[in-house]
Amino acid sequence: MTALRAVLAPLLVALAVLAVYGPPADRAEFVQDDAPAFLQHPAVKWPVDLSQIVRAPYFGDADHAYIRLSRPLATLSFAVEKGLGADSSRARHWTDLLLYALACAWLTALIARLAALWRLDLAGRLAALAGGLWFALHPAHAEVVMQVAYRPELLALLFELVAFEVLLAWRQGRGTPLNLAVGTLAFGAALWSKEQPLMLLPLAFVWALARPRLFRRFLPLLVAWTVIGVAWLAWRHWLFGPIAALPISEADNPLAGVPTAMRIWTALAIILRAAQHLVWPVDLAPDYAFNAWPPLLQPDAEVWGGLALLLGLLAAAIFLGRRARQKPLADEQDLAPGELGLLALVWAMLTWLPVANLLFVSTTLYADRLLFAPSVALCAGVPLALALWQPRGRIALRSRQTVAATLAVVTLGVCLQETPTTAAAWTNALALYARGVVLQPNSMRMANNLAFTLMERGRLVEARHFQQQALRIRPTDLDVLALGFDLARKEGRCEDGTPLARTLAQLPKPAVLARRIALDWAMRCRAWTDGWAAVRLLPPGQLRGREPLDVFALGVAAGENAAVEAWASPLEKSPWQVPAWTSAGVFGADSGGRPLEALRHLADLQKAQPQLAGLDKAARDLYERHRDHADAPAMRALLQATWKMTE
């Protein structure tokens, strides 16, 4: 009977996860970051190349190489799935779903074991069930569960739970060489899954310092974890360089580059909004980047609310820490409730503050997936606190039961209503971005992503509408400009690309992808002058196939011969002496309305390399196309002088 009670709550939580997420996982497609994380990742292959996985960034394609993150265990799991033939969308989503169900069940069991330390019995089991269900069904977790690219969050949580179990054992005097090894390996595996588990090290120190008489008991574990943490930091520095070198895009985080005061105001406001998303998770959007939540120019009510919440949490942590240090225990194996309250607060702050933009600018403004780790503390701590709460008076027990039951029913009701809807939105790109545009109409990324998805499905008119919406939000965004060129080309509306090309010409960045798409638009639409202005900053060495020749032709067609020759000089010292480049230049001069110049280039090449065949035919064809041109007499004379041709 005791064993059944121990597994009942975790089993119910795991079944709830499968019931809610199973149907959407069956029909889910790969979305957003799934492509760079494993679909296009060169290290996700079979047989596994461990050295490549250890050295590779998590997002392995060239377009995302600037994102300096590494999650080797997740990348390894993707490669193993590929080797086992379990790399379909359904198989990968179900792998994540099973990992999430296991993590939720484990967290539920951990809450129950903590409740048992205070002999809460039925109240403890109900707290474990409520906390486990709250975590399992929280709609903020849908992004983590339904997007395979966020598997590192799931792996990290599982290893964090193992490490915390070992930390708890050492606190209670049950440390052994075996669980020291297990805890150290779990801590290392968590770090190789994601960067955030590094917070376990300061968490362990806080716990040890909260009970200074027991500090020596923690010492072996602290030393082992410190060694692992330092080794991980050294490996990461070797791989990517200093953290300060992380590039931050304004499109991902509008706080990049704003004054410090504006960043702090906005970060404090977001703390309050994040807390609201945790306790009342309604209408959670897939994206909050530019310009969903604009930076605040001055403090408002949300800022002061966020500051009050942050200071309240800090004060509570200090109070609980002092109380834990001062309160004697009859048995050193016992835990004071204040100890776990302190740990819950420290866990929440250590997992949130590094991404809160408060101490420094993070790589993203906000995302609901960032609540995944902090919500562990909330979903475990609040039910335990309610179970331990002992109000005074004749109706104390009934009051506690009523409050706890009301909170549980309301919160779980909201989760049950929101989570299936949120999970369904993550099953495919069209549903996801359509929901994002409705919930965050000022999000440039959601509008542009929806436009791109519609374009891929051939719905060009709708795609144009949302691309224009994105363009109004951020007129200089490179992804929006690139999509505009694509749509102008596919719709045959060449004139729509002209203002985009003029905007792109004013931007100083190389912007390789956007300018390459502009190049294709310019060549197809014969937009020589605007096209050259838009592509002239393209680095020649980063072009593919015929693209360098197209840029050369474009520059010549625009009449910018000197500039385009200087542009081509890193590739060819004298492009006019190379047949392929001369052919591109002849096309450009001819397209630019200068047939005599085109013929002169052919004549110069003939003189420099008389052995080349076919130049006479090309010259004759060029002349035949321009018999009525004002330069026709001069062209006839050049034909006669160079190739001895007559009419």
- Tens of pLDDT, residue by residue over 263-309, are 999 999 999 999 999 988 888 999 898 888 999 989 999 999 999 99
pLDDT tens profile 593-626:
898 888 888 888 888 888 878 888 888 888 888 8
CB 102, CB 64: distance < 8 Å: no
| Distance in angstroms (rounded) separating the CA atoms of residues 293 and 302 | 12
- Choose the most confident range, by mean pLDDT, from 440-454, 540-554, 559-573: 440-454
CA distances from 122 to 115, 380, 384, 397, 513 (A): 10, 16, 12, 13, 60
Q: What DSSP assignment string belongs to 206-218?
A: HHHHHSGGGHHHH
Residue in the block written with tokens 């917070």: 199
> In the structure, what pLDDT confidence band is assigned to residue 328 with cuts at 50, 70 and 90?
low
For the chain, what percent of residues have pLDDT higher than 70? 93
> In the structure, what pLDDT confidence band is assigned to residue 326 with cuts at 50, 70 and 90?
low
The arithmetic mean of pLDDT across residues 7-18, rounded, is 93
Nearest to 477 by CA among 448, 499, 520, 497: 448
> In the structure, what pLDDT confidence band is assigned to residue 536 with cuts at 50, 70 and 90?
very high
CB 484, CB 471: distance < 8 Å: yes
pLDDT at 67 over 80: no
| Distance in angstroms (rounded) separating the CA atoms of residues 559 and 575 | 16
| Distance in angstroms (rounded) separating the CA atoms of residues 156 and 194 | 6
Least confident of 12-26, 337-351, 375-389, 547-561: 375-389
Nearest to 429 by CA among 151, 89, 85: 89
Q: How much is the pLDDT for 250? A: 84
Torsion of CA 594, 587, 541, 452, to 10 degrees: 110
Instruction: Give the chain's mean pLDDT.
Output: 88
| Distance in angstroms (rounded) separating the CA atoms of residues 430 and 452 | 10
Retrieve residue 402's tokens: 């009523």
> In the structure, what pLDDT confidence band is assigned to residue 166 with cuts at 50, 70 and 90?
very high
pLDDT tens profile 504-528:
999 887 888 899 999 999 999 999 9
Peptide bond into 57 cis (omega under 30): no
Per-domain residue ranges of the chain: 246-388, 594-647
pLDDT at 222 over 60: yes
For the chain, what percent of residues have pLDDT higher than 90? 57
pLDDT at 461 over 90: yes
Q: How much is the pLDDT for 404? A: 62
DSSP secondary structure letter of residue 506? T
